[in-house]
């Protein structure tokens, strides 16, 4: 009866005693809950011994312990909406912005549903901010690209503004077309080489780009060329039908140096001469002048990364009034007011052609460079120069009324840009054909 009474009145003490008798707890165990034990003398506090070993080092962060980085973002696209076309860029933020801004408005104008696939997170965020209503996707890795493509069953064609290595992650798909559209038209060596064989079609502005392939030293007959003009230059062509000196404003010179290139053999840049070139022009001629550096300036030669600030300070100290435009400003925006141009070997030359004004092109002599030449040399339609002294002499002749290459320049406009295709919006017509072929 005593055990039963203990179980009913004090179950904690009952189970404590039972566990103690069966050896589950020792004699020095703490008292059970609700039971006050007799006080016992406390043992003297011991001074903790000093550690004999150093604390263990913090674990080193490795690839396996680092937090996973975001590799895909499809929050801006509804995959249940049709998308017939895709623009893909594997470029970084600076050049990627330049390329996409040249094409996105015309894909939108065509009205054919499209999606933009970007491989760089900084560029993705930039384009999302600028075009919040367009379907933009970020996919970093090949597996992410595949996941996106698998959710676009209506896709008919993918368009590439540049030849980046990660294009291959899309080129492996056979069920849609792969079309190179580029981001300009120039005689740089990157304009015509054997990598272009991977595309189903190469959309070019005019005949000049086709001839570069013909002159590149390999058989181009199997390549499929389509002339589409330069849609972003249509407005400039219309504005520039009058001769440059009859448009109601004084000479306004636009200087467009290119960047230093990935390799020295692709370095066509006059950037290192820019300070002296600008000073000489401004001191010699009564003209307005603007300068826009290429967005990639300083990528290879790091001493050019701060050229905006350094050149601006130098011009201020000399009292030279010239405008340094932002690198990100589209050239076609600047062509609306400029009418005389100083360029390097680059796509800027063909853009300036659309404004139908004298073009002075720098040809380096202090380095060995490679070109992919068309059948119309720079010397035929532009005033080439190797030194600043030569530039001053030719510019003096032209600005004083002897624009002796005016007629050849008109020929070059059609040859380089594809004037008829540009004026008749051939690029947009070609885009619309994908939607028509889907619905017929």
What is the three-state SS of the chain? CHHHHHHHHCHHHHHHHHHHHCCCCCCCCCCCCCCCCCCCCCCCCCCCCCCCCCCCCCCCCCCCCCCCCCCEECCCCCCCCCCCEEEEECCCHHHHHHHHHHHHHHHHHHCCCEEEEECCHHHHHHHHHHCCCCCEEEECCHHHHHHHHCCCCCCCEEEECCCCHHHHHHHCCCCCEEEECCCCCCCEHHHCCHHHHHCCEEEECCHHHHHHHHCCCCCCCCCCEEECCCHHHHHHHHHCCCCHHHCCCCCEEEEECCCCCCCHHHCCCCHHHHHHHHHHHHHHCCCEEEECCCCCCCCCCHHHCCHHHHHHHHHHHCCCCCEECCCCCCHHHHCCCCCEEEEECCCHHHHHHCCCCCEEEECCCCCCCCECCCCCCHHHHCEEECCHHHHHHHHHHHHCCCCCCHHHHHHHHHHHHCHHHHHCCHHHHHHHHHHHHHHC
Identify whether residues 135 and 273 lie together within a single domain. Answer: no
Residue 28 has pLDDT above 60, yes or no: no
**Highest mean pLDDT: which of 59-73, 130-144, 184-198, 207-221?**
130-144
Q: What's the pLDDT at 267? A: 86
The tens digit of pLDDT for each residue in 385-440 reads 999 999 999 999 999 999 999 999 999 999 999 999 999 999 999 999 998 665 54
- Judged by average pLDDT, the poorest of 53-57, 279-283, 364-368 is 53-57
What is the domain-level CATH number for residue 115?
Answer: 3.40.50.11720
How many domains are contained in the chain?
A: 2
Identify whether residues 189 and 246 lie together within a single domain. Answer: no
**What CA–CA distance (Å, rounded) separates 128 from 133?**
8
Average pLDDT rounded to a whole number, residues 211-232: 88
Identify whether residues 223 and 239 lie together within a single domain. Answer: no
**Which of the two residues, 259 and 426, has the higher pLDDT score?**
426
Identify whether residues 240 and 222 lie together within a single domain. Answer: no
What percent of the chain shows pLDDT beyond 70?
81
Domain that residue 191 falls in: 72-233+423-439
Q: Is residue 336 part of a domain?
A: yes
Identify whether residues 199 and 329 lie together within a single domain. Answer: no
On whether the pTM is more than 0.85, the answer is: no
Identify whether residues 90 and 131 lie together within a single domain. Answer: yes
Q: What's the pLDDT at 370? A: 75
Q: Is residue 433 part of a domain?
A: yes
Identify whether residues 408 and 286 lie together within a single domain. Answer: yes
The tens digit of pLDDT for each residue in 70-108 reads 899 999 999 999 999 999 999 999 889 989 999 999 999
The tokens of 151 are what?
Answer: 């959710």
Confidence grade of residue 38 (pLDDT, cut at 50, 70, 90): very low
What is the domain-level CATH number for residue 262?
Answer: 3.40.50.2000
Q: Is residue 38 part of a domain?
A: no
Confidence grade of residue 301 (pLDDT, cut at 50, 70, 90): confident
Q: What's the pLDDT at 395? A: 97
Average pLDDT rounded to a whole number, residues 366-383: 85
């Amino acid at each position: 009866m005593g055990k039963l009474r203990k179980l009913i009145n004090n179950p904690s003490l009952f189970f404590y005693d039972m566990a103690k008798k069966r050896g589950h707890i020792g004699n020095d165990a703490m008292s059970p809950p609700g039971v006050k034990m007799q006080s016992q003398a406390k043992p003297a506090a011991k001074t903790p011994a000093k550690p004999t070993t150093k604390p263990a080092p913090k674990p080193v962060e490795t690839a396996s312990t680092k937090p996973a980085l975001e590799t895909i973002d499809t929050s801006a696209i509804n995959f249940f909406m049709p998308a017939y076309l895709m623009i893909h860029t594997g470029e970084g933020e600076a050049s990627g912005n330049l390329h996409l801004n040249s094409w996105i408005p015309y894909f939108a104008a065509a009205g054919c549903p499209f999606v933009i696939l970007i491989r760089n997170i900084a560029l993705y965020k930039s384009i999302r901010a600028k075009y919040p209503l367009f379907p933009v996707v970020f996919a970093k890795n090949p597996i992410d690209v595949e996941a996106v493509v698998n959710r676009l069953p209506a896709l008919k064609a993918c368009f590439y503004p540049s030849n980046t290595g990660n294009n291959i992650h899309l080129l492996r798909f056979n069920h849609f077309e792969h079309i190179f559209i580029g981001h300009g038209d120039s005689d740089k060596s990157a304009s015509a080489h054997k990598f272009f064989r991977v595309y189903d079609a190469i959309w070019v502005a005019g005949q000049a780009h086709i001839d570069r392939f013909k002159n590149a030293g390999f058989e181009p007959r199997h390549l499929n060329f389509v002339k589409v003009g330069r849609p972003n230059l249509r407005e400039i062509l219309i504005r520039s039908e009058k001769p440059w000196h009859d448009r109601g404003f004084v000479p306004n010179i636009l200087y467009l140096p290119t960047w230093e290139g990935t390799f020295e053999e692709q370095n066509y840049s006059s950037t290192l001469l820019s300070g002296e070139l600008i000073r000489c022009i401004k001191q010699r001629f009564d003209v307005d002048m603007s300068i826009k550096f290429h967005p990639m300036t300083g990528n290879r030669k790091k001493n050019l990364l701060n050229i905006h600030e350094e050149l601006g300070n130098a011009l201020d100290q000399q009292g030279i009034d010239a405008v340094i435009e932002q690198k990100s400003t589209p050239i076609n925006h600047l062509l609306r007011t400029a009418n005389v141009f100083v360029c390097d070997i680059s796509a800027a030359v063909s853009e300036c052609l659309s404004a139908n004004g004298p073009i002075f092109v720098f040809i380096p002599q202090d380095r060995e460079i490679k070109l992919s030449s068309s059948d119309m040399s720079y010397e035929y339609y532009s005033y080439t120069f190797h030194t600043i002294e030569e530039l001053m002499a030719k510019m003096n002749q032209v600005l004083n009324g002897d624009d002796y290459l005016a007629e050849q320049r008109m020929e070059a406009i059609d040859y380089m840009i594809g004037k008829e295709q540009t004026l008749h919006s051939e690029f947009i017509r070609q885009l619309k054909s994908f939607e028509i072929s889907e619905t017929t």
